[in-house]
Amino acid sequence: MRFLKSAVFSLALMLLPASGPASAQGMPPEQIKQILDLTKANWVAFRDWEGQELVYFTHLESWKCGIDYVFYGVNGGPLDQEWELDECDPANPNAVLKDKPYIERPAGSTQSVSVQLVFPDGSKSALETFEYKPQ
């Protein structure tokens, strides 16, 4: 797993532009979309905590300057909920400052979470579904 994270990070660094139009994160929006596509397995994370299931959106928060909207649905339902991203801070674009970068759900209530991103150019990501496998 450490190798995979290192490889993704190295690839992300290679995608950094030498010059050209940049977003708030210092790279063109197309490259942010590529990084999000390469790291889509990390868009959502799960944790059991004190009798609840926590669904984390931390990874998406760290790329918020390249995302306009995050829509999600639970257990195969419609994408009828929006994860509200913090406002982009160009001076610190990857900072995750939310006290709770997650939603809380009752224990045993989450089988999956589906996510779709909307980018500043109006394009959408593929629908990604993340299966929850309690420990």
- Tell me the whole-structure pTM to 2 decimals: 0.79
Q: Which residues are 49's β-sheet partners? A: 52
Six token digits for residue 70? 């995050």
Please state, for a pLDDT cut of 70, what percent of the chain lies above it: 80
Query: Using CA atoms, how far apart are residues 73 and 78, in angstroms rounded to an integer?
Result: 5
Nearest to 104 by CA among 33, 49, 31: 49
Q: Provide the residue type at 12 as one letter.
A: A
The whole-number pLDDT of residue 32 equals: 86
Domain count, the chain: 1
Contact 121, 67 (CB under 8 A): no
pLDDT at position 15 is: 41
What is the extent of the structural domain holding 9? 2-131
State residue 25's pLDDT score.
52
